[in-house]
Structure 1
């Protein structure tokens, strides 16, 4: 019997950070996870996704609605705000930081955001196999790790090959939104995505306008306070031939 396909030949999208969680965070996993956290079949690691696993959005959310996926949702500030203010859309947060997942569930519960689900998994596997092809109307990647040391830049999420898995998950005309406060990474993102045949720019000039659907978070504010310029990029998935 052949071994299950895995993605561990490639760097994972984010480093999984562990540590002691607060009582409230532990309670989030005990009490809120059944309603928010997807139970994903694993392959070779705790954050892997078995290649045969598939999300059924209509069954999971109980309706057919546009699906927005955030890669690396962190503490969940952006996606909880979006989910609570856009009840006509469904949202999926992809994250490996368990304390961040807990905080997201706590805030989602407080905001009564029932149109949000979370998956504890490596992002490329979610995009490449777990999401049905063409199921996402938008994919967001806000402030992913820039791996600013030159010897580590090969670990960046937005690099050659990312466009193919993002394009698979996006519907025709779907939107990929990117943002970073690291200039070198912004330039790499633009170079990579401009070369992707399945995408076209959805902005004019050097950079896209700031996405007004992205709430200002403490992380973004910290970058601004340090003098770093926030750069947005927006690409549209071309119609499949």
Structure 2
């Protein structure tokens, strides 16, 4: 849901001569390049406030990279020691800002590569007079690996990441077994990982990756199974009616090209979800633009919550 972009010290519409990050990164990035132009209000806010609220990090060639050996002391950045919440792929900043409003005793790090998204967050920060928010324009895996010490984070939020529907693009999905390793390293014991997606294929993928990690435990094991499971409803009701411009048939037929059978129930002997483990909707998440779009399209939202053992 994000893109490669100019470094924070530049104007959002500045020219980018950096090399493609995939030419040297060992893992595919989970985002694509997008337009960086800001509307007048966001541009003025960016120019005025990014120096304070966007944390400058040393780059390793690409504009969203984080150089190895980077050492940031977050207590010095925020001017205090407080529980850290990291919102990855924060979009327009709705969840980050609402969390900071609801919990002034916590500090929030918004990780987002899309400049207009961070600029929208800065507008919210200024409007609400928030001091417990900072943004980082960088690739999330590198932030987890290089900017956050082991056991330093209380919560990690990943809401509505890009689902990368086609099988050949699944390697780009942010949430993966490698991501679970990174999360387990930076979360403090008892820390929380919150995930949400509106696509059943990605939800199944998320659940499998997290359930397999020995240091992460589902906070709601066995919850919402059978007919109470949103996965069962999607499979039986054919709720995910479109992926791009391709309509999906209900489960009485094969899954369309590039769409996981987990989304339709096609090819499954039993479309009923007997595993469950879906969390209640996180009350601290406002109705973001991404979630609202999904609900308007008739899709269901899958929440997952994991605890660091």
Using the size of structure 1 for normalisation, the TM-score is 0.93
Is the CA contact (8 Å cut-off) linking 2:98 and 2:284 kept in structure 1? no
Instruction: Give runs of aligned pairs for residues 29-48 of structure 1, distance below 5 A.
Output: 29-48=46-65
**1:43-68 CA distances to partner (integer Å, 9 max, x unpaired)?**
12110001111221111111111000
**Does 2:97 correspond to 1:86?**
no
Work out whether 1:73 is the aligned partner of 2:144: no
Instruction: Work out which structure has the larger RCO, using CA pairs closer than 8 Å and 6 or more positions apart in sequence.
Output: 1
Asked if the contact 1:53–1:130 (Cα under 8 Å) also holds between the matched residues in 2, the reply is yes
CA shift, 1:7, in A, is: 7.4
Alignment of 1:15-26 (within 5 A): 15-26=32-43
Q: Which of the residues 69, 86, 91 maps onto 1:52?
A: 69
Alignment of 1:1-241 (within 5 A): 8-204=25-221, 205=223, 206=276, 207-238=278-309
Secondary structure of the 1:193 match is helix
TM superposition shift of 1:218: 2.6
Q: Return 187-196 or 201-210, whichever deviates more.
A: 201-210
Alpha-carbon distance between aligned partners in 2 of 1:233 and 1:224, rounded to the nearest angstrom: 18
CA drift at 1:73: 0.3
Q: Aligned residues, how many?
A: 233
Does the Cα contact within 8 Å between 1:84 and 1:112 map onto a contact in 2? no
| More displaced 10-residue stretch of structure 1: 13-22 or 76-85 | 13-22
Shift of 1:25: 2.1
- Aligned-pair Cα RMSD in Å: 1.4
Q: Secondary structure at the match of 1:17?
A: coil
- C-alpha distance in structure 1 between counterparts of 2:64 and 2:45, whole Å: 19
* 5+ long unaligned stretches in structure 1: 1-5
Partner residue, 2:259 = none
Contact 2:113 2:137 in 1 (8 A): yes
Task: Detail structure 1 runs of 4+ shifted over 6 Å in the superposition.
Answer: none
Structure 2 stretches of 5 or more lacking a match? 1-22, 224-275
Specify the SS of the correspondent of 2:195. strand
Q: Determine the C-alpha separation between the residues in 2 that align with 1:180 and 1:113.
A: 28
| Alignment partners' CA distance in 1, 2:49 and 2:176 | 35
Take 2:151 and 2:192, find their aligned partners in 1: how far apart are those partners?
11
Distance 1:21 1:225 in 2: 26
The more displaced of 112-121 and 26-35 is: 26-35
Shift of 1:173: 1.1
Q: How far off is 1:35 after superposition? A: 1.4
- In the TM superposition, what is the alpha-carbon distance from 1:86 to its structure 2 partner? 1.0
* 3-state SS, counterpart of residue 161 of structure 1: helix
Range with bigger deviation, 89-98 or 51-60? 51-60
Residue 108 and residue 16 in structure 1: after superposition, are their counterparts in 2 closer, same or farther (change >3 A)?
farther
**SS at structure 1 position matched to 2:188:** strand
Give the Å deviation of 1:39.
0.7
The more displaced of 90-99 and 144-153 is 144-153
